[in-house]
Each structure stands twice: as C-alpha cells, then as structure tokens.
Amino acid sequence: MLDRTNIKSLGSWAGFLGTLSIIGGVLFCITIVGVLQGVFMILLGIKLRNARKHSAELAATQDPAADTGRLNMLLYELGGFFKLNGILIIIALVLGVVGVVVTIATGSFISSLFNDLQGSFYY
C-alpha cells in the first residue's frame, strides 16, 4: 500500500528543488564560463520537475493497476537525476585531483627555476 502523503511530500520537494535548479542553471548560462554547468543544472531540474509531475499523478490516483506504471515513471525520473548527479560528482572529483596534481607540478617547476637562478644574481 502506498503512503500517498509521503508521495505528495516527495513531489513537493522535487518540484521546489527542480525549479531552483532550473533558475540556477539559467543564471549560470548567462555567463560564458558557466554554460556547461548551467546546462547540467537545467537537465537536473527538468528531471526533478518530471518526478514531481509523476508523484502528483501517483498521489491523485486511486487505481492500484495504474499505481505501478506511475511509480515506475517516478522512479525512472529520480534514477536519471541520481545517475546524472553522480556522474557530475565523479567528474568534479577527477578534475579536482587533476587540478591538485597540476598545481603541485607547477609549484615544483617554479621552485626549481628559482633555485637555478639563485646563484646567478650574486657577483
């Protein structure tokens, strides 16, 4: 038996967060640097808004035969949201590690340059 109160609550929060994600994505797309991040935020927001729609349909129906299809659609949208969000987190972590390695390599290179030049400034 489905708890329709929890389904409504899930839909409300999914709709709210989806709307905020879409608004944030549009604001990111205004800048040139944030276009890629903005597009992904808009896609995540659309997934959440679709989940809200399916949860509202599921909460409103009283037909147990239709519940399964609507529940599957709700879970499909939420699954897509979590997959895309997980992929973005993995990409961010990889880019963060690459950034740390590049920073350390650059600092080491600059340090060795200063060490090589240090003796040539003395007369």
The predicted structure's pLDDT at residue 122: 56
Q: What is the pLDDT of residues 32-73, one digit of tens each?
A: 888 999 999 999 999 999 999 999 999 888 888 888 888 999
DSSP character string of 75-115: HHHHHHHHHHHHHHHHHHHHHHHHHHHHHHHHHHHHHHHHH
The predicted structure's pLDDT at residue 114: 79
DSSP character string of 12-72: HHHHHHHHHHHHHHHHHHHSSTTHHHHHHHHHHHHHHHHHHHHHHHHHH---HHHHHHHHH
Residue 91 and residue 114: Cα distance in Å, rounded? 34
Q: What is the pLDDT of residues 72-87, one digit of tens each?
A: 999 999 999 999 999 9
Q: How many other β-carbons are positioned within 10 Å of the β-carbon of residue 78?
A: 18
Residue 25 and residue 35: Cα distance in Å, rounded? 8
Q: Which residue is listed with tokens 């399916």? A: 54
Q: Is the pLDDT higher at 110 or at 1? A: 110
Q: Supply the pTM of this predicted model.
A: 0.78
Average pLDDT of the chain to the nearest whole number: 90
The predicted structure's pLDDT at residue 120: 60
